[in-house]
Amino acid sequence: IENTALASNPDPKKKHEYAYGDKNGRIHIRNEQHTETLPSTGQEIKSVSFSTDGNRFYAATKKGAIFKYDYANYRAGIKSDSIKTQIRKEDGTPVYFVREWDEKHLLICNTNEIRFLCKPEAPDTVYQEFKYAQIDLPAVRRTDWTADHNWFLATGQDGTVIYRVDSSVINNLGPNKSNIRETARIMHPNTTMTCVAIKIDSIGKVWLALGSEEGKIWLAAAKNLSLLTDGCSIDDTKWFTPYSNVHETSISGIRFNEKLPQMATSDAYGFVYFWNLNNPGAAYDRIRVRGRGESITTIAYINPDELVAFETISVWEVKANIRALKEEVENLVKHKMRQ
């Protein structure tokens, strides 16, 4: 069965847990011990995500419906449909991005709009919905946002749009209010980006990466937020460094390691590359891993030392750095010596 969406659990207590959805509407939770399946949505899954504390889980579908799962109760042993609540009715438009801004607000994105969903007063279950912005791009291919939830990016054909989504936006939500906070654009005319990723590290440095249909990567590193507020072109060497000799086909995934100076990229030929951000231009400092020969559709860090890759009908895990690989090899050697 074709897998369609992937997300890892950000709860630091869950160091090896992630979820993925499939075309039949099922959601699977994988940890070190086993794989469990949540109650089905009945619709093809397009996006999945955990809350920051890992207690809630969301699934968005091809028809636009969104379901919320009480994952804390599920872990406590409640396995029935009672943990599932439909918080948005289907409208026929796929939702490709659903993330919790806080416990009462969700940010969602479909093909050309960003919307906020607001938790209603009980006993209502369907969230209130407010349009945030119309994404002015010919076609949106991928989205991403920062770990602090303050910046949201949408990329696709001809450009990448950057939005500010901080608490002032949340506090101003309501009908007939202007909430649009497009802060900048990164222009790439005649180039369609298939992936985007952003990270603001512990010292405030902004990392931004774009990947194209042709297999090219553009990487920017800025000492402050000016990259996100001033706008630029991918041809602007003040910000971006292009890499055209790493991947040979369309980029299918880009992810930054939130704890280590590392980036992972994947492609349609089934390769994953791990980049050392302290020396991104050095080919010898990249680790290349090949999966099972299928096209990779997306990737996600499970934790700083492990990454999961999504192939069309399979999922595989890989150690993400030399330190983790060294530990794995040492354990294999010890096991061999005991035999």
Given this model, what pLDDT does residue 79 score?
79
pLDDT per residue over 19-56, tens digit each? 999 999 999 999 888 888 888 899 999 999 999 999 99
> What is the average per-residue pLDDT within 98-118?
91
* pTM, two decimal places: 0.91
**Is the pLDDT at 177 greater than 60, yes or no?**
no
Query: How would residue 130 be classed by pLDDT, with cut points 50, 70 and 90?
Result: confident
Predicted pLDDT at 294: 87
**Average pLDDT score, the chain:** 89
Q: What is the pLDDT of residue 50?
A: 95
Q: Does residue 126 register a pLDDT over 60?
A: yes
Residue 5 has pLDDT above 60, yes or no: yes
SS3 annotation, the chain: CCEEEEEECCCCCCCCEEEEEECCCCEEEEECCCEEEECCCCCCEEEEEECCCCCEEEEEECCCCEEEEEHHHHHCCCCCHHHEEEEECCCCCCCCEEEEEECCEEEEECCCEEEEEECCCCCCCCCEEEEEEECCCCCEEEEEECCCCCEEEEEEEEEEEEEECCHHHHHCCCCCCCCCCEEEEEEEEEEEEEEEEEEECCCCCEEEEEEECCCCEEEEEECCCHHHHHCEECCCCCCEEEECCCCCCCEEEEEECCCCCEEEEEECCCEEEEEECCCCCCHHHCEEEECCCCCEEEEEEEECCEEEEEECCCEEEEECCHHHHHHHHHHHHHHHHHC
Residue 180 scores a pLDDT above 90:
no
With pLDDT > 70 as the criterion, what percentage of the chain qualifies?
94
Q: Does 65 have pLDDT greater than 90?
A: yes
pLDDT in tens, 304-313: 999 999 987 8
pLDDT digits (tens, 9 = 90+) for 221-275: 999 888 899 889 999 999 999 999 999 999 999 999 999 999 999 999 999 999 9
The percentage of residues in the chain with a pLDDT greater than 90, rounded to a whole number, is: 62
Q: How confident is residue 176, by pLDDT bands cut at 50, 70 and 90?
A: low
| Residue 333 confidence class, pLDDT cut points 50, 70, 90 | low
pLDDT tens profile 186-207: 999 999 999 999 999 999 999 9
pLDDT over 80 (residue 303): yes
299 pLDDT higher than 60: yes
Question: Among 62-76, 241-255, 315-329, where is mean pLDDT lowest?
Answer: 315-329
Q: In which band, very low, low, confident or very high, does the pLDDT at 284 lie, cut at 50, 70 and 90?
A: confident
pLDDT at 178 over 60: no
Q: What is the pLDDT of residue 3?
A: 86
